[in-house]
Every structure is written in structure tokens, then in C-alpha cells.
Amino acid sequence: MIKKVVSRQSSIVSAWILLFLLTTCNAQPISSTELINNARLYDRKTVVYEGEVIGDIMRRGDYAWINVYDGKNAIGIWINASLIKDITCVGSYKTRGDAVEITGIFNRACAEHGGDLDIHALAIRKTSSGRPVQERLNTAKRNLAIVLLGILCLVWILSLLKRR
């Protein structure tokens, strides 16, 4: 009898997970601008949001904050720390961060986090890996700097000669 109940419960849970994955897999990502401008509309709804992880991964106990930038704005994602093991690169001047797709509950004014606009992640998928950005010396800037250095030295020497 107990076995029957447990198996029925697990099949219901499986069905819900399947339904959730089916709906979210087909869901189109929503842009940050759309979410911010229509925050009341999306409040407490499951949304899909994608972008680049930028800045820092800020661990807070079993959870962590990551900030995901979609090219227009960045939105804070509250996520279970176990889900972000795959994230190795965060965006900065020298790094292109991992691109991720977040499925989670959007909050216009999150009661748990002091009224911040955020997303509580239910699932995360890394869509592409980040990489270090190779900084090449800009030769035009280098040449301009050398020419200006020459002019500066000339002006400085002339000013010294004038004072004598």
C-alpha cells in the first residue's frame, strides 16, 4: 500500500518536472529591458533569461548571487551554489564570461532580498564557455603616444631655455 502511494507520488513529481522542462525548454528568453519595463507583468512568474555572467560570483552560504548581463542590463540571479559549479569564467575587461540560460522565478520587488528586482533560479544551462580576451597592442595609439612624447619634451626644453 505504502509502496503504491510512494510510486504514485514520484510519478506525479516526475510529471511536473517533465511538464516544467517541456514548457521552459520551448520558452523564449526574455530580455532584461522587457523584464524591467514590465516588471509587474512578469512578477512571480517563471521566466527564461540569458546572458553573460559578469563581475563576481558572490557565495552566501548554500546559495550565491551571480549577475547576468544580456547586452543592455544586468540582473541579479539568486541561485543554489550547487548549480554554478560549471561557471568558470566571469565577464570583465580581460575575460568574456560564460553565457548562461537561467530558468527561474522573476521578482519585481523580492520580499526575501530587501525589495530588489531579481530572479530566483530553478535551473541554469551553460550555453557557451567564456574565454580570456587577448589584448593586442594598439599600434596607432602607441605611435600617437610617441609623437606626443616628442612634442612634450620639445615644449618642456623650450620652456627651460626661456627661463634661463
Partner 1 sequence: MILKPRLEDIKNIGYYLGRIMIGLGLTMLVPILIGLSFGEINPILDFIIGFEITLVFGLILTELCVTEKDLSWMQGMVVVSLSWLVAMVLGAIPLYLSGHWKSYLDACFDSMSGFATTGLTLVQDLDHLSYTHNLWRHLIMFIGGQGIVIIALSFFVRGVSGAFKMYVGEARDERILPNVINTSRFIWLVSITYLALGVLALGTVGVLNGMRATNAFFHGACVFMAAFDTGGFTPQSQNMLYYHSLPYEVITVIIMILGAINFKLHYHIWMGNRREILKNIETVTLFTTVMITFLITAVGLEQFGVYSKGAILFRKGFYQLISGHTGTGYQTIYAAQFINEWSHLALVGIICAMALGGAVCSTTGAIKMLRIGIIFKALKEDLKRIMLPEKAIVIEKFHHIKKVFLEDRQVRSALIITLSYLVLYGLGAIAGMFYGYPFLNALFESTSAAANVGLSCGLTNVNMPAALKVTYIFEMWAGRLEFMSIFTLIGFLVAVIKGK
Nearer to partner 1, 1 or 111 (CB): 111
**How far apart are CB 85 and partner 1 at their closest, in Å?**
15
Query: How far is Cα 139 from Cα 126, in angstroms, rounded to an integer?
Result: 36
Distances (CA, A) of 129 to 56, 75, 90, 101: 16, 19, 10, 12
- The pairing of beta strand 99-107 with beta strand 95-96: unpaired
Q: Which three cell numbers stand for residue 2?
A: 505504502
Binding to partner 1 by residue 137, rule CB under 8 A? yes
Binding to partner 1 by residue 69, rule CB under 8 A? yes
Nearer to partner 1, 59 or 131 (CB): 59
Return the closest-CA partner of residue 49 out of 118, 130, 108. Answer: 118
- Which of 50, 84, 91, 98 contacts partner 1 by CB under 8 A? 91
**How far apart are CB 52 and partner 1 at their closest, in Å?**
8
Return the closest-CA partner of residue 47 out of 120, 125, 128, 126. Answer: 120
Q: Which of residues 30-59 bind partner 1 (CB under 8 A)?
A: 36-40, 54-59
Taking CA 91 as the corner, what is the angle to CA 86 and CA 97, rounded to the nearest 5 degrees?
40
Q: Which residues bind partner 1 (CB under 8 A)?
A: 36-40, 54-60, 64-65, 67, 69, 73-76, 78, 91-94, 108-109, 111, 113-118, 135, 137-138, 141-142, 144-145, 148-149, 151-152, 155-156, 158-159, 162
